[in-house]
């Protein structure tokens, strides 16, 4: 049956109609937006109307979370980006956890943090401690730059590859 | 009972343990390498921690990282699965000393059974038959003859320093023994700088039969009958089944009881498999104990209806076994085919890559334990098994028919699998008759 | 035995029959509509013929096209599955007169049982309890009172021309009867132009319990125990199980024996389901016979280990049943959840479309009978069931736990499924206790 | 499926027509847009109307035949193209079987074929017989044109939608 009773070919819920999905002009505008901002995919849906556009090597589709009681993945468990550079913020990259453990931003509760936003780090600068198996491992920056964001909270569990700090390259 | 369990493994066995945990209301914590970020065990676990990069030595074998994950994951116990660290007594020890129950035997039992000589001695002590041999080096021909006469021909001469078949000779009778001894000594001397040899009864065309045993910490030891794993390629099991197709009932009873004696004698708890070779006259000889859950455990689960992983967890938590020996009844026939991402036409060369499409077989009597899905990339870093296809039917004949139709249903594109090869094996008259032995696949499928 | 069978159906049941054929060495011939060209039943059959365009009336219901396909496909027999033409006595007749065995009962038995009044008379004749009633129209209030007193309150007044609840009233006691009669008559007259009404005992909160029966042409009739299908939404079964969770053993025996009497009395061969409603006191009343295999047959297959489709084929080929009543033992507990492409949050509105990703649940005790795969488009033309998730464990409690973890594993993207809704039902205390009835889902989940 | 036979290629139910999904000009515009901006995929949907276009390697992958002993599909069972136009041979289209049965190219073994390559057919020209259930159904051409190819052999089984003849449109 091509016209299910529930299929309301409706206008947009608010005032204005969604208009013709097949309107070339609108598609062109979206595409230009994609190019400008290096989007790989746009997927718009409203009721039965749908516009999906993909550029470049089709981005992998991730499965949605399992049904109902299936557990969401732990925050710490998000598949970490392996490298450093992250396209989302040009000119910056992240320092990632080299091991599993608990993150400490300061040597002890009364100390100053090893680094703060604005700190300049070099290869040997200790930026945090990751504690595992009762060993407090001092983590060096292993790069040069300026800390622009601290990405994990104190005493938060981190795993291998977890981004810890965002760093801006210094010229 | 445990609240949270970490699974120190990947692939289908990680999924298998997650399933048991979920059904028992236990939270599961996965670990994974960067190559496995999209893996199903990561998605289905309650929590997951990345423990390193793709190579096993950098992740699944990294004891400190796994223990660290157990700490941040706040687990009570660690299930090692099979492979990786499963039979590593040091890891076992570190788990326990770090405050996590290791779901498996004690490090002591694991270590003792892991040493071939110790295990052999324990078998002898517990009246478990071992392959008869000289029990030490053969100094001269006279002792060799006496020994050979005692254990019976044919005999195998093995280099004590040996490996890879070097310094190995079979003597069919007394007339051949002297020459064979001489050749073996010379070859061993040349190859290893050590001419020492010993004698062992040569079991030609042996079957591989193993017994599933599980023991709790209250002194209960039960067997769950045998599995026949004679379909092997280069000592890799391809197809496993239960019951063994040609073992007389009294021998079946005897081999199962021997396995129980072995495990009881080793002061062992949790699941173990006692492996034997069985000759044409149905004499069985102890080979080794696998101190972990095995790949082929579902075959036993199907015929007995017992969930072995749950039982492992119960036992590790200090509970008694949920059954006694008399409760265990094996019903029907079960088969398992290991589906590998390998190309049988190219000498079983691994075929990792992206699975474009897959249809998972279903229907009556079919179980497919697999972690793969359409769009999943089989990484090249680990073993090539992508799933285990298991069937259970009232008779072996029906089980073979069901397995064949399930293999035909298992449509995978993007990579090459061994499904078609299994189908050829299942049709072979020797397999159908159940008279095959461990030389079967090489004799019938890989010659020339 | 048949050499070739045509399957006059689609979806999972077509696959189910193809599986049985393949295991029996019978060639399978599929038919399909143009909308199903990419369907798994087309891919897995030995041959397939397109019989028309997407709409069922143009393809799966086109008797002449299906018979033509049977001719060019050179088959011996036709399996109708369920739905479509499965209970069409005319199709049954045409199959036979065209020289094809119809895998099901005779057209006569099908027709007789298909007529509610005839079936009720047959039940009474065979001492199978029916819902007590006036057995005819109620002319005046006096007769109504006498009848109501005889069958006991509450009573249901039903319009003879009725449907959709119109002209239907429940009277809890004698004081309510007169008014209710009047209202029902007036409403029926207005709605149908026919004020005729009759009385029936009102069974409040009934359970739906059905008995699987199979009969051969040699006079053997066996039951395979019962299924409880009380989890329904608008008379659509959602979850089925065996055994029924709250039926005392003597009632179980009695209902199974009644079902056998019914089928034996109908001179029926092949598989049938005898449906009953069961009241709070465990009295059962005959409702109807389904003269075909049913969607929920796997539940029975799991507990008995018997392949019902193969048995249907054997019986249709004139062979005797492969078992007798005493051989049939029901073991453990089985559950089935029908997974539909529907949106439970939008009043179960169908959700056809392309399945982007799917992970088929596996592991111990899980069976997933489904024809869908990643990349498959669920067509909007047919029913919305995309698979049946079936579990079998030693106890009902374990079966529920296994079903819940399997539902969580069943990850489908691209379309919406009812998996999550099933999970909510399985957690409900009433379902867990097994005290639910056919009003359960509407009472507890769909109110407001 | 872009061309479901039952799918009434209707205008949108509401006011403005969505236009013909099969409008080549519009498709061409979209394709040009895709090329220009290196899109790999466009998927537009409005009610039952849908346009999906993919470029490059994004083509859908069909499953290979099942392993080993799995039966190949019968020749007659190949999913038939519905409709008529076939892009492979420009200017021609096919006449497809309207039913399942056995194809006969001639009235009886001694007769001439109903049509041959080169025959001109009109709507009512009988082009073949399809036999089913002992009924010999005369199949009319239902189109005008010249037969350029006979696509099935005599007494071959055919199913619904199976191409029988290739026809060249006459000007």
For residue A81, give the chain B residue with the closest CA.
B34
pTM given for the model: 0.84
Q: Which of C38, C45, C54 sits opposite D4 (nearest CB)?
A: C54
| C275, C366 contact by CB (below 8 A) | no
- Judge contact between B226 and B243, C-beta under 8 A: yes
Query: Of all helices (H) and strands (E), which one includes residue C386?
Result: strand C385-393
- Of A39, A42, A61, nearest to A53 by C-alpha is A42
More confident residue, B65 or D85: B65
Average pLDDT over residues C162-173: 80
| Residues of chain C numbered 13-52 and touching chain B (CB < 8 Å) | 15-16, 19, 22-25, 40, 43-44
Residue of C nearest to A1 (CA): C381
Match 């197709």 to its residue by tokens.
B245
CB C259 within 8 A of CB C213: yes
CB < 8 Å to D65, chain B: 411
Mean pLDDT of chain C: 95
Tokens of B30: 């996965």
Computed over every residue of chain A, the mean pLDDT equals 71
**Is the pLDDT reported for residue C270 higher than 60?**
yes
Query: Beta-carbon neighbour count of residue B359 at 10 Å?
Result: 24
Chain C: residue whose CA lies nearest to A5? C349
pLDDT value of position B163:
64
Task: Copy the structure tokens of residue B283.
Answer: 């004499």
Lowest model confidence (mean pLDDT) among B294-303, C284-293, D29-38: D29-38
| Lowest mean per-residue pLDDT among A138-147, B418-427, C69-78, D82-91 | D82-91
Nearest C-alpha in D relative to C373: D63
pLDDT beyond 70 at D35: no
Does D14 score more than 60 pLDDT?
Answer: no
Residues whose CB falls within 8 Å of the CB of residue C117, separated by 6 or more in sequence, listed in order: none
- Give the whole-angstrom CA distance, residue D44 versus residue D31: 13
Shortest CA distance from C406: residue in chain B: B19
Q: Which of B3, B49, B75 to mutate against chain A (most A CBs within 10 Å)? A: B49
Among candidate residues B169, B292, B314, B393, the one labeled active-site is B292
With a cut of 50, say whether residue D73 has pLDDT above it.
no
b/e B3-21 (16+ beta carbons within 10 angstroms → b): ebbbbbbbbbbbbbbbbbb
Selected residue with higher pLDDT from A30 and D130 = D130
Residue B395 CA to residue B410 CA, distance in Å, equals 22
Chain-chain contact of C350 with A4 (C-beta, under 8 angstroms): yes
> Long-range pairs for A83-91 at CB < 8 Å and ≥24 separation?
A84/A143, A86/A163, A86/A166, A87/A38, A89/A166, A91/A168, A91/A169
What the block records as the tokens of A150 is: 């601290």
Annotated catalytic residue within C10, C169, C292, C393: C292
Please confirm, yes or no, whether C292 is among the known catalytic residues.
yes
Integer Cα distance of C276 and D170 in angstroms: 66
Q: Confirm or reject contact between C52 and chain D (CB < 8 A).
A: yes
Residues of B in contact with D73 (CB under 8 A): none
* pLDDT value of residue A59: 32
Residue of A nearest to D36 (CA): A31
Does the beta-carbon distance from C394 to B44 stay under 8 Å?
no
Q: What are phi and psi of C103, to 5 degrees?
A: -85, 85
A chain contacts of residue B45, beta-carbon cutoff 8 Å:
71, 73
CB-CB neighbors (< 8 A) of D70 in chain B: 408-409
Chain A positions contacting chain D at CB under 8 Å are 2-3, 7, 9, 11, 20-22, 24, 27-28, 31-32, 34-35, 48-58
Give Dmax over CA atoms of chain D in angstroms: 62
The bridge status of strand C4-7 relative to strand C77-79 is parallel
User: Among A1, A64, A66, whose Cβ lies nearest the Cβ of C381?
Assistant: A1
Structure tokens at C114: 């298909």
**Could you give the CA distance from residue D41 to residue B414 in angstroms, rounded to a whole number?**
21
pLDDT single digits (tens) D107-144: 998 999 999 999 999 999 999 999 998 899 999 999 99
Distance from A76 to chain B by nearest Cα, in Å? 7
Strand order across the A101-104 sheet: A135-140, A126-132, A101-104, A157-158
Q: Is the CB of A100 less than 8 angstroms away from the CB of B51? A: yes
Contact partners for chain D, using 3 or more CB pairs closer than 8 A, are: A, B, C
For an interface test with D, which of B411, B417, B418, B422 has the most D Cβ atoms less than 10 Å from its Cβ?
A: B411
Subunits that touch chain B (at least 3 Cβ pairs < 8 angstroms)? Answer: A, C, D
Question: CB-based contact (8 Å) between C410 and chain A?
Answer: yes
Q: Are the beta carbons of B352 and B341 closer than 8 angstroms? A: yes
Inform me whether the pLDDT recorded for C215 exceeds 50: yes
Report the pLDDT averaged over residues C15-42.
Answer: 97
Does residue B319 sit at the A interface (CB-CB below 8 Å)?
no
Report, in this order, helix, strand and coil percent for chain A, each rounded to 5: 10, 30, 60
What is the total residue count of chain D? 171
Q: Which of C194 and C226 is assigned the larger pLDDT? A: C226
How far apart CA A142 and CA B169 sit, in angstroms, is 58
Residue D22 confidence (pLDDT) above 70:
no
Mutate to test the interface with C, among A48, A52, A60, A70 (most CBs of C within 10 A): A70
In whole angstroms, how far apart are CA B232 and each of B84, B207, B228, B338, B341? 21, 10, 11, 11, 17
Q: What is the pLDDT, as a whole number, of residue B162? A: 67
Identify all chain C residues contacting B363, using CB atoms and an 8 Å cutoff: 15-16, 19, 367, 369
Residue in C357, C370, C398 closest to B362 by CB = C370
Residue A140 is inside which H or E element, if any? strand A135-140
Using CA coordinates, name the residue in chain D closest to C37.
D79
pLDDT at A90 over 80: no
Alpha-helical regions (H) of B277-375: 297-304, 308-316
* Cis-peptide into B232, omega within 30 deg: no
The DSSP bridge pattern shows strands B353-354 and B155-159 to be unpaired
User: Across the interface, which of B34, B47, B73 has its CB nearest the CB of A73?
Assistant: B47
Chains contacting A (3+ CB pairs below 8 angstroms): B, C, D
C47 vs A1, more confident: C47
pLDDT higher than threshold 90 for residue C192: no
Choose the closest CB to C22 out of B22, B394, B405.
B405
Pair of tokens at residue C199: 């009385």
**Would you state the pLDDT for residue A9?**
33
- Say whether B362 and C359 touch across the interface (CB within 8 A): no
**Residue pLDDT, tens place only, C47-89:** 999 999 999 999 999 999 999 999 999 999 999 999 999 999 9
* pLDDT, greater one: C344 or A14: C344
Q: List B381's β-bridge partners, or say none.
A: none
Q: Chains B, D: CB contacts under 8 A, how many?
A: 36
- In SS3 terms, chain D reads as CCCCCCCCCCCCCCCCCCCCCCCHHHHHHHHHHHHHCCEEEEEEEECCEEEEEECHHHCCCCCCCCCCCCCCCCHHHCCCCCCCECCCCCCEEEEECCCCEEEECECCCCCCECCCCCCEECCCCEEEEEEECCEEEEEECCCCEEEEEECCCCCCEECCCCEEEEEECCC
Instruction: List Cβ neighbours of B171 (8 Å cut-off, separation of 6 or more).
Output: B148, B153, B154, B155, B157, B177, B180, B181
Nearest residue to C275 (alpha-carbon basis) of C330, C229, C312, C232: C229
pLDDT at C159: 83
CB atoms near residue A75 (< 10 Å)? 11
Instruction: Count CB atoms within 10 A of the CB of residue C377.
Output: 16
* DSSP state letter for C163: B
**From A11-20, C281-290, D33-42, the region with the lowest mean pLDDT:** A11-20
If you write DSSP's letter for every residue of B229-272 in order, what string do you get?
EEEEETTEEEEEEES-TT--HHHHHHHHHHHHHHHHHTT--EEE
Whether residue A9 and residue D46 make contact (CB cut-off 8 A), yes or no, is yes
**What is chain B's pLDDT, residue by residue, as a tens digit (448 residues)?**
999 999 999 999 999 999 999 999 999 999 999 999 999 999 999 999 999 999 999 999 999 999 999 999 999 999 999 999 999 999 999 999 999 999 999 999 999 998 888 999 999 999 999 999 887 788 888 888 999 999 989 999 988 776 666 778 899 999 999 999 999 899 888 888 888 888 989 999 999 999 999 999 999 999 999 999 999 998 899 999 999 999 999 999 999 999 999 999 999 999 999 999 999 999 999 999 999 999 999 999 999 999 999 999 999 999 999 999 999 999 999 999 999 999 999 999 999 999 999 999 999 999 999 999 999 999 999 999 999 999 999 999 999 999 999 999 998 999 999 999 999 999 999 999 999 999 999 999 987 5
| Residue C348 main-chain phi, psi, to 5 deg | 60, 35
- B366 CB within 8 Å of a chain C CB: yes
CA distance C270 to C320: 10
Cross-chain Cβ contact A99/B65 below 8 Å = yes
- The pLDDT of residue D38: 63
Residue B303, exposed/middle/buried by CB under 10 A (0-12, 13-18, 19+)?
buried
Parallel, antiparallel or unpaired: strands C101-102 and C77-79: parallel
pLDDT on residue A66? 34
pLDDT recorded at residue A40: 64
Residues of D in contact with B414 (CB under 8 A): 61
Task: Render B325-351 in DSSP notation, one character per residue.
Answer: GGG----SEEEEEEEESEEGGGTTEE-
The DSSP code for B414 is S
- The lowest-confidence range among B195-199, C157-161, C256-260, D65-69 is D65-69
């Amino acid at each position: 049956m091509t016209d299910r009773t529930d299929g309301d070919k409706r206008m947009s819920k608010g005032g204005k109609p969604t208009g013709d999905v097949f309107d070339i002009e609108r598609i062109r505008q979206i595409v230009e937006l994609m190019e400008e901002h290096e989007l790989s995919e746009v997927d718009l849906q409203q009721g039965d109307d749908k516009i999906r556009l993909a550029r470049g090597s089709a981005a992998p589709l991730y499965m949605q979370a399992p049904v109902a009681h299936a557990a969401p993945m732990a925050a710490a468990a998000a598949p970490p980006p392996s490298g450093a550079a992250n396209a989302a913020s040009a000119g910056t990259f992240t320092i990632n956890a080299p091991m599993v453990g608990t993150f400490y931003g300061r040597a002890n509760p009364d100390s100053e943090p090893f680094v703060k936003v604005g700190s300049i780090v070099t290869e040997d600068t200790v930026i945090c401690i990751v504690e595992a198996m009762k060993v407090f491992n001092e983590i060096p920056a292993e790069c040069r730059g300026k800390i622009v964001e601290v990405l994990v909270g104190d005493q938060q569990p981190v795993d291998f590859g977890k981004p810890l700090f965002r760093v801006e390259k210094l010229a | 009972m445990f609240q949270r369990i970490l699974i120190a493994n990947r692939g289908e066995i990680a999924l298998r343990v997650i399933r048991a945990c979920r059904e028992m209301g236990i939270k599961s914590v996965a670990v994974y390498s960067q190559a496995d970020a999209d893996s199903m065990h990561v998605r289905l676990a309650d929590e997951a921690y990345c423990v390193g990069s793709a190579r096993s030595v950098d992740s699944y074998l990294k004891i400190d990282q796994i223990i660290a994950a157990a700490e941040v994951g706040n687990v009570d116990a660690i299930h090692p699965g099979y492979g990786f660290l499963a039979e590593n007594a040091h890891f076992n020890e570190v788990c326990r000393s770090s405050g996590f129950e290791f779901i498996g035997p004690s490090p002591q039992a694991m270590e003792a059974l892991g040493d071939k000589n110790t295990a052999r001695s324990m078998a002898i002590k517990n009246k478990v038959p071992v392959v008869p041999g000289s029990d030490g080096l053969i100094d001269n021909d006279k002792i060799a003859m006496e020994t050979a006469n005692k254990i019976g021909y044919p005999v195998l001469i093995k280099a004590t320093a040996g490996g890879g078949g070097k310094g190995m000779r079979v003597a069919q009778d007394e007339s051949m023994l002297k020459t064979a001894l001489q050749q073996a000594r010379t070859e061993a001397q040349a190859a290893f700088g050590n001419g020492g040899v010993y004698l062992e009864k040569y079991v030609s065309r042996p079957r591989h039969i193993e017994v599933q045993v599980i023991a709790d910490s209250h002194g209960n030891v039960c067997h769950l009958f045998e599995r026949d794993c004679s379909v092997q390629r280069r000592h890799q099991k391809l197809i496993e089944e239960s019951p063994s197709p040609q073992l007389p009932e009294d021998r079946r009873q005897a081999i199962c009881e021997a396995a129980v004696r072995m495990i009881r004698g080793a002061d062992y708890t949790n699941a173990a498999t006692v492996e034997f070779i069985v000759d044409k006259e149905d004499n069985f000889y102890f080979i080794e104990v696998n101190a972990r859950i095995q790949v082929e455990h579902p075959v036993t689960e199907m015929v007995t209806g017992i969930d072995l992983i749950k039982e492992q967890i119960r036992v590790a938590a200090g509970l008694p076994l949920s059954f006694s020996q008399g409760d265990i009844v094996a019903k029907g026939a079960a088969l398992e085919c290991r589906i590998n991402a390998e190309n049988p036409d190219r000498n079983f060369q691994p075929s990792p890559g992206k699975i474009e499409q897959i249809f998972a077989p279903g229907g009556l009597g079919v179980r497919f334990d697999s972690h793969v899905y359409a769009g999943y990339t089989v990484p090249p870093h680990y073993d090539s098994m992508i799933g285990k296809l298991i069937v259970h039917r009232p008779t072996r004949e029906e089980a073979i028919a069901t397995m064949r139709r399930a293999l035909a249903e298992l449509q995978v594109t993007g990579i090459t699998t061994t499904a078609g090869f299994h189908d050829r094996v299942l049709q072979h008259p020797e397999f159908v008759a159940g008279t095959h032995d461990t030389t079967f696949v090489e004799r019938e499928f890989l010659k020339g």
